Amino acid sequence: MVEIPDIALFDVVMMKKEHPCSKRSRYFQIMRVGADIKIKCLGCGKVMMLSRDTFNHKLKKVVSHSEKEVPTGTV
């Protein structure tokens, strides 16, 4: 059985692959949780939406839990 990660709004997560932006960041912040997951690259600020299945497959680990939005370019 596949373990479903416990994620919440504004959590910072590490993905298996880097985002192909100039910063090459692997860190993203959760912007929306539901049937789809909206994440923001902490390197360049680009926002993208993934299905929950795709997100769970590409997720490596939850780095931190946060109560507010993390500024872009801090990781």
Taking residues 42-63, report their average pLDDT: 94
Give residue-wise pLDDT tens across range 17-36: 999 988 899 999 999 999 99
Taking residues 41-57, report their average pLDDT: 94
Give the single-character DSSP code of 10. Answer: T
Query: 4 versus 63: which is more confidently predicted?
Result: 63
